[in-house]
Amino acid sequence: MSCEVLVLYFAKSAELADVRSERICVAQQTTSQQLWQEIVSRHPRLAALRDHVILAVCQEYVSIGDQLLLLQPGDEVAIIPPISGG
């Protein structure tokens, strides 16, 4: 089963992907690593962020790894490069 999610790109990741947000179809059950790979396959320049990027799914941080996600249609997935607020 696949579903459409909204992917948001910020800061360096928005520059590399050259897009701020887009809807993509992904497997509903996926690991965060597979989800990241799917996004990188659409925007290969994002590979430059490897090992120093984290995801947020429905506004909660998710490390890129084996963690299993159960996505729902319309869920928000954000690409979060290292932060620098303050």
Partner 1 sequence: MNAVRMNEGTGEGKDMIKVTPEKLSAEEVSQMVISPCCGAVSLFIGTTRNSFEGKNVVRLEYEAYVLMAESEIKKICTEIRQKWPSVKHTAVYHRLGLVPVTEASVILAVSSPHRDESLEAVKYCINALKARVPIWKKEIYGEEEYCWKENKECFWAKQDKDPSLKNCQESSTAFSEMRLE
Residues lying near partner 1 in the complex (CB under 8 A) are found at 8, 10-12, 14-15, 18, 20-21, 51-54, 56, 59, 61, 63, 78, 80-86
Identity of the residue, 26 or 55, whose beta carbon is nearer to partner 1 in the bound complex: 55
Contact 64, 32 (CB under 8 A): yes
- Structure tokens, 41: 């396959």
Nearer to partner 1, 11 or 29 (CB): 11
The CA distance from 13 to 44, in Å, is 11
- Report the C-alpha gap between 65 and 20 in whole angstroms: 24
The minimum distance between CB 83 and partner 1, in angstroms, equals 5
- C-beta closer to partner 1: residue 24 or 56: 56
Tokens 């089963």, residue located: 1
